[in-house]
Structure 1
């Protein structure tokens, strides 16, 4: 019984054939998939930015969820148009929300 996944390539198989028409079609499909993925990512980050802009306090149940949202934005903002500006705006909003939480729950 083979232990490898069906889609896993054979490590010892000869190298892939040079780019031909069939491979070009696969690359075009991959580019379309990439554009769709980036569009979903941009929509997700734009939604997250709008969520924190509208919030009057942290819109996350826990600080862990807030941190995960920050990490998600930090990691992914490079892939979207105007990502640096959106990330800066997101960070400013998060700082505003953390300041509100600090006022509500002093040490």
Structure 2
């Protein structure tokens, strides 16, 4: 199946399957994870919890960022629960083949 997703121009390239997450956003832009389905209220398309972190130059899960306002034990519990549901730390599991972006400056000659 061919699917077009719109990735931030500064997003890092998708890592190989099994490699640590680098915040490329491909998996969450293609389809939400189980908890993302609840948050986004949809099973297909980009997850609404996905956030572009401009300072880091990568995508982040808004569910993990949301817990940062809660101090102490509640923050730790929230982050642990959210990390488990998004499978954080288990490596890249997006088995998608990514085609390179077309270069708009490239000249084609017949």
TM over 0.5, shorter chain: no
* TM-score normalised by L of structure 1: 0.29
More helix by share: 1
Q: Which has the larger radius of gyration?
A: 1
Q: Answer 1 or 2: which has greater strand percent.
A: 2
TM-score normalised according to structure 2 size: 0.28
